[in-house]
Amino acid sequence: MRLEGKVALITGAAAGVQGELMGFGGAAAWLFAGEGAKLVLTDVNEDMGRRAEAQLREHGHDAVFARLDVTSEEDWEAAISLTMDTYGRLDILVNNAGTGGRLRLEDTTEETWDGQMDVHAKGAFLGMKRAIPEMRKSGGGSIINVSSIYGLVGSQTSTAYHAAKGAVRILTKSAAAQYAGENIRVNSIHPGFCRTPMTNASYQDPTHYDALLQRIPMGRVGQPQELAQGMLYLASDESSYVTGSELVIDGGVTAQ
């Protein structure tokens, strides 16, 4: 029970229904719950989020759902208030909510740019801003910001996504330096190519998928559960001396 007694808020956690393809947030929710954590699941997809909440409860886990648009400070205030009213503490924040955008620079509109920066960078900023005061009250906590290998390296597409995920990476380091003395750890996790609800449609194209596999030394895409294992490590006390770090889980892509 590596998270026994801890409360975790996970954004982008609606895709957490067993029997269906999960996202990183949904996979983390099940893994965290199995290790004893109480959960606050959040997402803009309320219908699916409620289904995940109900299924977790049916399996004996303690979980509540809150609709959260991570770009809204008011939504963040409400989600944190629900967490404190329900559980009285907050120990773990996983800033996982995200969207994709595979556009080259000249094809990227201002709206697309702003949307990517808002969901990823602003979302992580607002989440930390609202969570840190509550973590301080209980003597510390762990914040996990989901970046990407595209926050470390460039590619032929996804201009705004790269910029936003790179912002999450350096924002993580800034927060880690600021709050390390209060036992609030902040780390980023950098998934490689994984099969999730956000990527699955593009993986149906055999030409695209085969080309993708050629870029991965391990010869396969990752699964959400494999990313969740990394989140569990960063959430647990096993990583008590780890802050400001980048955990890359990518099958070797960025080793090349």
Residues serving a catalytic function are: 161
* Contact (CB, 8 A) for 157 and 104: yes
Q: What are phi and psi of 74, to 5 degrees?
A: -65, -40
Hey, what long-range contacts does 211-218 have (CB within 8 A, 24 or more apart)? 215/253, 216/192, 216/250, 216/251, 216/252, 216/253, 217/251, 217/252, 217/253, 217/255, 217/256, 218/251, 218/252
Angle between helix 24-34 and helix 224-235 axes, rounded to 10 deg? 50
Q: What are phi and psi of 14, to 5 degrees?
A: -65, -35
Q: How many residues does the chain have?
A: 256
SS3 content of the chain, % helix, strand, coil (to 5): 50, 15, 35
Q: Is the dihedral of CA 73, 74, 77, 79 positive or negative?
A: negative
Which helix (H) or strand (E) is 35 found in, with range? none
Q: In what order do the strands lie in the sheet with 184-191?
A: 63-67, 38-43, 7-10, 92-95, 141-146, 184-191, 246-249
